[in-house]
Amino acid sequence: MRVRMNISYNGRDFSGFQYQHDYRTVQGTIEKQLKRMHKMPTRIHGASRTDAGVHALDQYIHFDTTIDLPGDKWAFIFNRAMPDDIYIKDVDIVDDDFHSRYHAKGKTYRYKIYTGAKNPFYKGLVTHVPDQLDISKIKEAAKDFVGVHDFTTFSSAKAEIKNKVREIKQVDIIKTEAGLDIVITGTGFLYNMVRIIVAYLLEVGRGLRKADTLNMIAQKDRTIIPKTAPAEGLYLEKVWYENL
Amino acid sequence: MRVRMNISYNGRDFSGFQYQHDYRTVQGTIEKQLKRMHKMPTRIHGASRTDAGVHALDQYIHFDTTIDLPGDKWAFIFNRAMPDDIYIKDVDIVDDDFHSRYHAKGKTYRYKIYTGAKNPFYKGLVTHVPDQLDISKIKEAAKDFVGVHDFTTFSSAKAEIKNKVREIKQVDIIKTEAGLDIVITGTGFLYNMVRIIVAYLLEVGRGLRKADTLNMIAQKDRTIIPKTAPAEGLYLEKVWYENL
């Protein structure tokens, strides 16, 4: 049978989601517990392969098992075994054709920024931008991301995928007590796309660039936005499925 | 001249305040920057030698220097050089006889606890107690700590100091959104004293022990409270000086 887990994790002490030999990863940590239970390797699949330092408030994984347990038992057993920085929110037994990645219709990412004096307790959790930010300018630049675009300008040169057309459904710029959250929902994202969009929006907010999003997109040239915002402020906030 | 710095730090990634060769410590990090500026070793003294994993919202250090700079310049230079988890809040030039440790009249520590489901983002910052806590029982046990007592029962067996009499001025049990803060102010604390007091109060709150503080103190026996609460929830909240 197939098991789907809804999990959250603090990415600060993980070398990302994806398994890497000799590194502490989310996949590796969960698969280690599955191996303990199955006495054999069990592979998991995640909706998003978050990078090193990136957090998840709402990630989904699935795996196949011969162990017949109800969802809440899986959650109980896992939460006792998991380290402090992974939490199993919910577990369901799902149809055998469910796939956490292929069935995801979209994802929402939140990028957390704080401004002003440094706060040591935000280390690894919120990105520090000492400068004052012009929020109206950031909003002006952000709205033009919405729509179907070729996002070559806003994807890592390392992205090997050919088709760089994606749809962004919504971008919200939210003033918080500490600074600013940038919340982006799309049908899919290219490698580093959110962090490059954020790097661009922060340069606009700091007055280092004008709001010129459609022109940037049209140029399809990654070199015109060389920066990538740090991983620490990025949260996978929601994965959208048809029936969830 | 003598310089006093008021600093805060996130203890999560430090092996404590005190210098240790080959370990990342708060003292080592600050002294490295001082060495860079003075081209020779410069020793700092802290009000409290916080343990590995313990945080500081309001720690004081002092050192002697031949570099003639106003306080705000020291703060500016240091904050540019310090890592993400140390922040220099304020710097003053003080009298040559000021001593951050010997002149401290008292200290306030805050211990942060959260209850209920695990929150991965509290890792290293707030201690998790899954059980429900009986706050009225904790308050009942806490109030009897106030006063002048021999705290042998509540100090680490490793404490080498002979005189274990200390005065606790105030203990507050504060309900928070996440759980509970325990705030203790005293004229001085023995090694691990706050964390042993918290371990005892949590056992009372979980119904594993009755509130019997005065009897515990009277026994002067460390073995009757063998636990020490984890470092991650502990914050040095304030150092009290006569003229501050």
Assess whether pLDDT exceeds 60 at residue B81. yes
Return the ∠ at Cα B133 (arms to A71 and B239), rounded to 5°: 120
Which residue in B3, B20, B47 sits closest to B237, CA to CA? B47
Which residue of chain B is at minimal alpha-carbon distance from A85?
Answer: B120
**Residue type at B185 in one-letter notation:** T
* Residue of A84, A112, A114, A122 to mutate for B, most B C-beta atoms under 10 A: A84
Assess whether pLDDT exceeds 80 at residue B111. yes
Task: Please tell me whether residues A123 and A228 are part of one structural domain.
Answer: yes
* Residue at B197 is within a domain: yes
* Residue at A100 is within a domain: no
pLDDT value of residue B66: 96
Contacts of A123 in chain B (CB under 8 A): 10, 12-13, 84-85
Q: What is the pLDDT of residues A79-121, one digit of tens each?
A: 999 999 999 999 999 999 999 999 999 999 999 999 999 999 9
Q: Which run of H or of E encompasses B59?
A: strand B55-64
CB contact under 8 A, B121 and A121: no
For range B229-234, the mean pLDDT = 98
Task: Please tell me whether residues B62 and B182 are part of one structural domain.
Answer: no
Assess whether pLDDT exceeds 90 at residue B79. yes
CB contact under 8 A, B8 and A120: yes
* Residue at B143 is within a domain: yes
What CA–CA distance (Å, rounded) separates B71 from B59?
16
> Residues A203, A209, A214, A215: what is their CA dihedral angle, to the nearest 10 degrees?
-140
Last residue of a domain, one of B94, B127, B148: B94
Which residue of chain A is at minimal alpha-carbon distance from B75?
Answer: A117
* Residue at A101 is within a domain: no
* Residue at A141 is within a domain: yes
pLDDT value of residue A242: 85
Task: Please tell me whether residues A140 and A218 are part of one structural domain.
Answer: yes
Task: Please tell me whether residues A89 and A201 are part of one structural domain.
Answer: no
Task: Please tell me whether residues A130 and A184 are part of one structural domain.
Answer: yes
Q: How many domains are contained in chain A?
A: 2
Confidence of residue B157 (pLDDT cuts 50, 70, 90): confident
Residues of B labelled as active-site residues: 51
- CA distances (Å), B193 to each of A55, B9, B51, B71, in order? 35, 21, 12, 34
Assess whether pLDDT exceeds 90 at residue B97. yes
pLDDT value of residue A42: 96
- Beta-bridged to residue A174, according to DSSP, are A181
pLDDT value of residue A243: 62
* Residue at B100 is within a domain: no
What CA–CA distance (Å, rounded) separates B200 from B137?
12
Known binding residue B109? Answer is yes
> Which residue numbers in chain A have pLDDT < 70?
159, 243-244
Task: Please tell me whether residues A89 and A124 are part of one structural domain.
Answer: no
Assess whether pLDDT exceeds 80 at residue B25. yes
pLDDT value of residue A244: 52
* Residue at A99 is within a domain: no
Task: Please tell me whether residues B175 and B236 are part of one structural domain.
Answer: yes
Pairing of strands A179-186, A106-115: antiparallel
CB contact under 8 A, A10 and B125: no
**Residue B17 maps to which CATH number?**
3.30.70.580
Pairing of strands B55-64, B45-46: antiparallel
For range B102-116, the mean pLDDT = 96
Task: Please tell me whether residues A168 and A210 are part of one structural domain.
Answer: yes
Task: Please tell me whether residues B29 and B66 are part of one structural domain.
Answer: yes
For range B78-102, the mean pLDDT = 96
Contacts of A118 in chain B (CB under 8 A): 79, 84, 87
Q: Do the beta carbons of residue A170 and residue A240 sit within 8 Å?
A: no
Quick one: DSSP state of residue B162? Answer: S
Last residue of a domain, one of A72, A94, A116: A94
Task: Please tell me whether residues A88 and A140 are part of one structural domain.
Answer: no
Quick one: DSSP state of residue B51? Answer: P
Assess whether pLDDT exceeds 60 at residue B192. yes
Which residue in B10, B123, B229 sits closest to A86, CA to CA? B123
CB contact under 8 A, B119 and A12: no
DSSP reduced 3-state for B128: strand
Domain enclosing residue A11, as ranges: 2-94
CB contact under 8 A, B85 and A120: yes
* Residue at B174 is within a domain: yes
Query: A51, A58, A92, A181: which one is catalytic?
Result: A51
Last residue of a domain, one of A94, A125, A152: A94
Q: Do the beta carbons of residue A195 and residue A202 sit within 8 Å?
A: no
3-state per-residue secondary structure call for chain A: CEEEEEEEECHHHCCCCCCCCCCCCHHHHHHHHHHHHHCCCCCCEECCCCCCCCEEEEEEEEEECCCCCCHHHHHHHHHHHCCCCEEEEEEEEECCCCCCCCCCCEEEEEEEEEECCCCHHHCCCCEEECCCCCHHHHHHHHHCCCEEEECHHHCCCCCCCCCCEEEEEEEEEEECCCEEEEEEEECCCCCCHHHHHHHHHHHHHCCCCCCCHHHHHHHCCHHHCCCCCCHHHEEEEEEECCCC
Task: Please tell me whether residues A88 and A113 are part of one structural domain.
Answer: no
Assess whether pLDDT exceeds 80 at residue B159. no
What CA–CA distance (Å, rounded) separates A142 from A212?
10
Tokens 């490698």 — which residue?
Answer: A191
pLDDT value of residue B112: 98
- Average pLDDT of chain B? 95
What CA–CA distance (Å, rounded) separates A208 from A185?
26
Which residue of chain B is at minimal alpha-carbon distance from A118?
Answer: B87
Q: What is the pLDDT of residues A201-216, one digit of tens each?
A: 999 999 999 999 999 9
Contacts of B87 in chain A (CB under 8 A): 117-120
**Residue type at B37 in one-letter notation:** M
Q: Give the closest-approach CA distance of B32 to chain A in angstroms.
A: 19
Residues of A near B (CB-CB distance < 8 A)? 8-10, 12-13, 55, 79, 84-87, 117-121, 123-125, 128
**Residue A184 maps to which CATH number?**
3.30.70.660
Confidence of residue B156 (pLDDT cuts 50, 70, 90): confident
Which residue in A114, A25, A61, A55 sits closest to A234, CA to CA? A55
The token duo for A129 is 């931008």
Task: Please tell me whether residues B88 and B157 are part of one structural domain.
Answer: no
> Residues B30, B34, B40, B42: what is their CA dihedral angle, to the nearest 10 degrees?
-60
